[in-house]
Structure 1
Amino acid sequence: MNGTNKGGAAPGRGGGLASPRFAAVMASQALSLLGMEILQFVLPLHLLNLTGSGALYGGVIAAGFVPYTLLAPIGGVIADRTRKRGVMIAVDAVLAIAMAAYLFAAGTSAVIAATVAVLMLAFAAQALYQPCVQSAIPHLVESHEVERAVALVNQVGMLTGIGGPVAGGIAFGFLGLAPIVFISAACFAASALVVAALVHVPYEPPARTAGAVATARADLKEALAFLRSRPLMWRTIMAATLVNLFGSSFFNVCSPYIVTETLGLPNQLMGVLQGALAVGGLAGGAIVAAVPGTLGIRRVPALLLGVVAGIAAIACVLMVPLPALGTYTALVILYLPTMAVCMCMSIVATSYLQVESPGTLVGKVMALAIMLANCVTPAGQLAYGVALDIVPAWAIALVAASVTAAVAWWLARAER
């Protein structure tokens, strides 16, 4: 956990956490993620309100994850071999235009197809954008500040995770779809302007002796070989794959269905519940930033058990016959600490991968980690969406808790 970034920014090359370059990247990411949070929260929820179908809701979200997973390795190659600034500007500009175009299809019979298309584009854009941000961190801060920088970047994500769903849910409930889509487009446009004006990431063109396709294939092969040579890295990524398949899919797909369909509560309260998840994540990031190095990679199994306890408690709440608002209040209370532990675990794992990867491979290693960790997530989201129309949500929560417990046991046993 405290290893050096071999081949990364040499001591003194990066700045502190308060450096203008790092602050500019965080500001641009905040705007882009805010637009993304609004988009990913409101558009599927709009379809759920129209149809009431858990299967359609899960299928739409799963469809979005497909390009995200497939393009993640390409995003890593692009992040390491091109100017990150140009990629970030292009991604934000395309998303701003796409959201403006979505307004013309939202009121027609093509709304389902348009929603799927925009979500797939948004996730594809994220697969290109996030490796640029992640691989830029070691170049912008000193190596001993990487873990805290990752924690701060994640906290920015959590803050947008609060603002996006809460503001989006409230505004969507009172004002309808059009103003939300406009705000999302404006966030992407503003992010592109910030990147163009303020973001600068040191860039040295790497040597290339073959064509683009052959170079990309060789780069990814090198990164994959590196991961396979590090058993602890490989196990961590495989564990993340299983947790995303069973655990994360529960929160992503089941939460909106439980609030709006099972409990019959308004979209505004779904936005608040999504905000509770983000507040919990913010708390987890604050814990890691306050005591960097305390939660090492070997603590991941114990952190996973904390997630298991949270999901199991959620299952129990859903089984108890409480009034709708009583169940909702209990969910909000339980989501906070569960997400805090999830974020601690995510930051620890992400920092470990970044710090232990060679500087020339950081973007590709992170992209492969994203791809492998999310490659089966669409299957989980689709399966949970279908299951919601057949079995009660508490049964799905028990499955998620049981499998996550098995993953924690496997990791702990493998590290002995």
Structure 2
Amino acid sequence: MKLLNRNFTLIMIGQIVSLFGNATLRFALPLYLLDRTGSASLFGVVLACSFIPMVLLSPIGGILADRVNKRNIMVILDFFTAILAAFFLLSNGLFSPEALVLIVMMLLSAIQSLYQPSVQSSIPFLQEKENLMTANAIINQISALANLIGPVLGGIVYEAFGITQVVIISGICFFLSAVMEIFIRIPYNKLPGEGSVISIVKQDMADSLHYIHREKPIIQKVIIIVALFNLVLSSMIIVGVPVIIKIHLALSGQLYGYAQGISAAGGLLGGVLVGVFANKLNVEKVWKLLLAAVATLLPIGVCLLFGAPPMVSYVVLVCCYFLMMLLATMFTVQMLSYVQGEVPGNLIGKVISFVMAISMCSQPIGQALYGVLFDWLAPQWIVFGSLVISAAIVIGSRKAFSHINDDSKKDLAM
């Protein structure tokens, strides 16, 4: 099976359009809220709440991905997201901006939690095992490209015309993606299931947890490490970058859009590097990528500590953000490819969704906490604190990552 076969190509194109709309909307809505309220605490709480559906519903998304036609899930959810964009347009002005943004962000999060397991679990059905890392790199590059163009265009349109035009563009993207995905054909074998829907869900969850806990405990260890990393570093970046740029540096939303776009370019380059060097990368050494990502916080903290001019601090922040995303993407693609290559086909959707849910469960806590901290403390101390704690987590994780291939060898021996 060739890499760029018809169905994988359609998924790629659909992802480009859908993720562009998603990136634009996810960029503009929090920025709209921050502009309307000026509160870092409220901003952090809304972001935290928007992650809760993703944590809670990702396991359900995995079960659906294994038991329902993956193509149908993608089509229905993209159509529903287009309707959600229309709901925002019709409701804007009827509700408070805080309530409306919270509702729409939570629904977007819920949709993504059901959508992404279908996309990720479809790749092993459309590719040979030797192409998995390259295929995942391509999907990540598409995500990075959408996140590159979406915030930049969203920032320009938002500053020039306001939130309404941004939502219209996003809604059109979701509609076009849904129409395109109708023509995708993904192999589908209905899994057996007896009893009520609740009993089937409980059994599927139990099977996934048993596999992660008993048969592949290394996956469980990696999940815990990533969850801690998300609590300390990822949450700080998600909340801190817009707050630092908009409030502490007093710069425009358009410059924040450029920062998001440039960071996405880092993710794009990271995906390219993984694809180019797929055969030379060693999953046992991925912790080094995380440690290097943590180190990018140092120049940001130094600029803020010594009160560098706003544009100097902005340029340094953007460059470091670019490098951080490059390194984080290389880590993510390698770990996702490892999981896809190890997990049986009948469990892959559920296991991937559990990995996503558990690794992200710490983010709502972290985002709410950082929202409060950025109102109370100078940003440089938050950045330095995140650097020290994140570095300690990564250094402490070296042993777990070093046993990844040992775990695979044991399975082969059995």
TM-score grouping bracket, smaller chain normalisation: over 0.9
Q: In structure 2, which of residues 179, 189, 198 is the aligned counterpart of residue 204 of structure 1? A: 189
What SS is found at the alignment partner of 1:389?
helix
Alpha-carbon separation, structure 2, partners of 1:296 and 1:368: 24
Shift of 1:110: 2.2
State how 1:345-384 maps to structure 2 within 5 Å: 345-384=331-370
Identity over aligned pairs, percent: 35
What SS is found at the alignment partner of 1:260?
helix
Corresponding position of 2:62: 76
Q: In structure 2, which of residues 212, 224, 227 is the aligned counterpart of residue 227 of structure 1? A: 212
Q: In structure 2, which of residues 257, 274, 278 is the aligned counterpart of residue 271 of structure 1? A: 257
Greater CA deviation, 247-256 or 396-405? 396-405
Alpha-carbon separation, structure 2, partners of 1:249 and 1:286: 25
Using structure 1 for the length normalisation, give the TM-score: 0.94
Q: 2:14·2:180 contact (CA, 8 Å) conserved in 1?
A: yes
Greater CA deviation, 401-410 or 258-267? 401-410
- What one-letter code is carried by the residue in structure 1 that aligns with 2:175? A
Corresponding position of 2:24: 38
- CA 1:293–1:238 in structure 2 vs 1: closer, same or farther (change >3 Å)? farther
1:239 has 2:240 as partner: no
- What one-letter code is carried by the residue in structure 2 that aligns with 1:211? S
1:149 has 2:135 as partner: yes
Q: 2:299·2:316 contact (CA, 8 Å) conserved in 1?
A: no
Alpha-carbon separation, structure 1, partners of 2:378 and 2:131: 45
Q: 2:29·2:101 contact (CA, 8 Å) conserved in 1?
A: yes
Runs of 4+ in 1 over 3 A off after TM superposition: 413-416
Alpha-carbon separation, structure 2, partners of 1:16 and 1:130: 23
Alpha-carbon separation, structure 2, partners of 1:391 and 1:81: 48
Q: In structure 2, which of residues 386, 395, 406 is the aligned counterpart of residue 409 of structure 1? A: 395
CA-to-aligned-CA distance 1:61-100 (integer Å, 9 cap, x gap): 1111000110000000000000111111111111111111
What SS is found at the alignment partner of 2:189?
coil
1:50 has 2:44 as partner: no
Corresponding position of 2:105: 119
Corresponding position of 1:140: 126
Alpha-carbon separation, structure 1, partners of 2:329 and 2:344: 24
- What one-letter code is carried by the residue in structure 1 that aligns with 2:349? G
Alpha-carbon separation, structure 1, partners of 2:303 and 2:275: 32
Shift of 1:108: 4.0
Q: 1:21·1:201 contact (CA, 8 Å) conserved in 2?
A: yes
Gaps of 5+ in 1: 1-14
Greater CA deviation, 160-169 or 214-223? 214-223
Corresponding position of 2:243: 257
Using structure 2 for the length normalisation, give the TM-score: 0.95
State how 1:276-355 maps to structure 2 within 5 Å: 276-355=262-341
Q: 2:296·2:324 contact (CA, 8 Å) conserved in 1?
A: yes
- What RMSD, in angstroms, separates the aligned Cα atoms of the two structures? 1.2
What SS is found at the alignment partner of 2:376?
coil
Alpha-carbon separation, structure 2, partners of 1:236 and 1:101: 39
Shift of 1:209: 2.0
Shift of 1:109: 4.5
1:21 has 2:14 as partner: no
